[in-house]
Amino acid sequence: MTNTTTIGLAVDGVWPTVRIALAVAACACSTRGWHDSDGSDLALELGDSQTEGGACPGQSSSGACADADANDRTDGCIADCAETACGLDGCGGWCGQCEEGNPCTSDSCEAEGQCDYEQVAGCVPCLDDCDCPDVGQACDATIGWCIEIPGTRYDSSDTPIAISDASAVMYLSTIHVNDQGPVINGSVKVRIQHEHMGDLKMRIAHAGLVLDLKYVDPADTSQSLCVTYPVGLVPSTGQMGDWQLEVWDTATPWGGELVSWSLFLE
């Protein structure tokens, strides 16, 4: 079902052009914001779009408000919905709702009283980023389909990187950016396979600043991570230089692989 209500998105045209407050449903992220690598905070916060130690917020709604029972009448009128799936019931009420539950269909009631489910062109339904076939797309859980990630994309060239099950160490992957200019907005899309995802913590580092992306969570026993994290406005530095993804495996014996990651900068 299409939905014109967006949360944390700027919609422009048929497909949303997003200024992402992403990290969708599965991420554990920080409200601390960018800070010096020595631990000193900067006066910049990411705001309420992220929640430390929990999933990034988002909400969805379905259904519609209705009277207690449109067919309970005292004027003698008998509602007739015998051969209609939707539409008027002949007594001023409504027979039913056209709600397929598919985020990639536009649901409507036709004049003959039957529901029509029209496929939205180019729409890919998703639960997380793993469902999006294009590296340049992320899953927006508020609408349930893949959307384009804004900005210029830079892909890692040193992945995949094996994460050993024999020791608890830090793994580093670097993307070098030659372009100049400020970072108005940015995102980091990460894909990892690991036998115990809760053992991992992760951050992005650039020009002496770091941003925490994921914290250790012993309760997280999942084995796959496909998440796009927001980096927001990066203070006091431009795009040029090394952007490093730091992944710590904090426990043994489980291992895995940093499959890939991409950086998006505006």
| 3-state secondary structure labels for all residues of 196-240 | CHHHEEEEEEECCEEEEEECCCCCCCCCEEEEEEECCCCCCCECC
pTM: 0.63
Determine the 3-state secondary structure of 45 from DSSP: coil
In the chain, what are the domains?
A: 35-58+128-265 (2.60.120.260)
List pLDDT tens digits, range 211-243.
Answer: 999 999 999 999 999 999 999 988 878 999 999
Residue with the larger pLDDT of the pair 167 and 18: 167
User: Looking at residue 75, what is its pLDDT?
Assistant: 66
Separation between Cα atoms, residue 45 and residue 24, nearest integer Å? 19
Mean pLDDT over each residue of the chain, to the nearest integer: 78
Rg of the chain on CA atoms, in Å: 23
For CA atoms 126, 154, 39, 194, give the dihedral sign.
positive
As a whole-number percent, the residues of the chain with pLDDT over 70 amount to 74
Question: Is there a contact between 87 and 57 (Cβ–Cβ < 8 Å)?
Answer: no
Choose between 263 and 105: higher pLDDT.
263
With bands split at pLDDT 50, 70 and 90, how would you rate the model's confidence at 88? confident
In this prediction, residue 100 carries a pLDDT of 74
- How far apart are the C-alpha atoms of 146 and 167, rounded to whole Å? 36
What pLDDT digit, counting tens, does each position of 170-207 carry? 999 999 999 999 999 999 999 999 999 999 999 999 99
According to the model, what pLDDT value does residue 44 have? 44
Q: Closest by alpha carbon to 138, among 266, 257, 3, 19?
A: 19
Looking at residues 23-44, what average pLDDT do you find? 55
